[in-house]
Amino acid sequence: MITLKLKKQERQDRIVLLLNRTGFMTSNSLAKQIGVTSMTIRRDINELDQAHKVIKTYGGAKPLSNDMTVEFSTSQKLTINVELKKQIGEKLANIIEDGATVFLGAGTTLMYSLPFLIKKNLTFVTNSFISFSKLATTSDCRVLSTGGELHKNTGEFLGQIAERTFDGLNLDYALCSTNGIRNNDVTTSSEDEGRIQNVAINHATKALIIADHTKLGRSDIITFRNLNTFNGLVTDNEISAEQRNLYSEYTKVW
C-alpha cells in the first residue's frame, strides 16, 4: 500500500507500471494500491487511455499489448511518460563527456534529453526533424542534420541520402531509440529506422540504447540489433529489480 500522496504524473506512471506488471486491474484495486479514490483512478484511466498508455476496459484497465502493432505518431509519443524521459536525460548528461560528437536518434526520449545535453558543448548529428528544430534555436552546440526523406508520422529522415551523411564521420556516441526490447532483441517498426541507427553505430566509438522501462519486455516487428552489442542501456528509475537483473545479463544498465 502506498501511503504518500503522489503527484498526478507520478500517480499515472504508477498505474501504467502496475498494469504492465499484473495485467488487468479494476479501478477499485488500483485505488487501494495507490491510496486514492476510485473516482480519481477512473479520471486517470480516461486520460491514460486517450494518451495511448493503457487500454480502458469495463471496470478498470489493462496494459497495452506486449507486441506492438501500431506505430504512434511523434505528437502522440510527446505526451507519453514525459517525466521518465527527463530522468533519462539527466542520466545521459552524466554519462556523456563535454565536447563529444553524438548521433541523436529520432526518439522523443532523446528529444526530452536535449535540455540536459546542450550545456555540454556537444556536436550533434541527428535524423530527427523535431530534435533538429529545437537544436537550431540554441547557440550552445553544433548540429548537423542528415537530410533524406522525411517520414512525417515519426518525424525522422530516412533512406540512402540520410545514411550517406555518415560517410567520413567519426562519432563518440550513437544514442539510439527503440520501440521495445525483449530479452536480447532491440526492435523497431521498420527496416529503414533500424538501418540508419546501425549505420550510425558503425561510425561511433560507443553505442547506447535509450528506452524507458515501459518498453522493456515488449517487441515491435523488426529486430535491428542485439542488446549485447550496445555499450549500455539507459532507462528511467522505475525499472524493476527483475528487469535490471535480466538486461544486465546483456549489457550495462544505467
CB 184 within 8 Å of CB 226: yes
Sequential pLDDT tens for the chain (254 residues):
334 567 888 889 888 888 876 667 889 888 988 889 999 999 999 999 888 888 888 888 888 765 544 445 455 555 566 788 889 999 999 999 999 999 999 888 888 899 999 889 999 999 999 899 889 888 788 999 999 999 887 889 999 999 999 999 999 999 999 988 989 999 988 899 999 999 999 999 999 999 988 888 888 888 999 999 999 999 998 888 888 999 999 999 99
Instruction: Show the 3-state SS of the chain.
Output: CCCCCCCHHHHHHHHHHHHHHHCCEEHHHHHHHHCCCHHHHHHHHHHHHHCCCEEEECCEEEECCCECCCCCCHHHHCCCCHHHHHHHHHHHHHHCCCCCEEEECCCHHHHHHHHHHHHHCCEEEECEHHHHHHHCCCCCCEEEECCCEEECCCCEEECHHHHHCCCCCCEEEEEEECCEEECCEEEECCHHHHHHHHHHHHCEEEEEEECCHHHECCECCEEEEEHHHCCEEECCCCCCHHHHHHHHCCCCEC
Place of cell 554519462: 95
Does the pTM of the predicted model rise above 0.85? no
Q: Are 193 and 224 in contact (CB under 8 A)?
A: yes
Domains of the chain: 8-63 (1.10.10.10), 74-248 (3.40.50.1360)
Could you give the CA distance from residue 28 to residue 61 in angstroms, rounded to a whole number? 11
Alpha carbons 14 and 74: distance in angstroms, whole number: 23
Beta bridge partners, 126, equal 104, 145
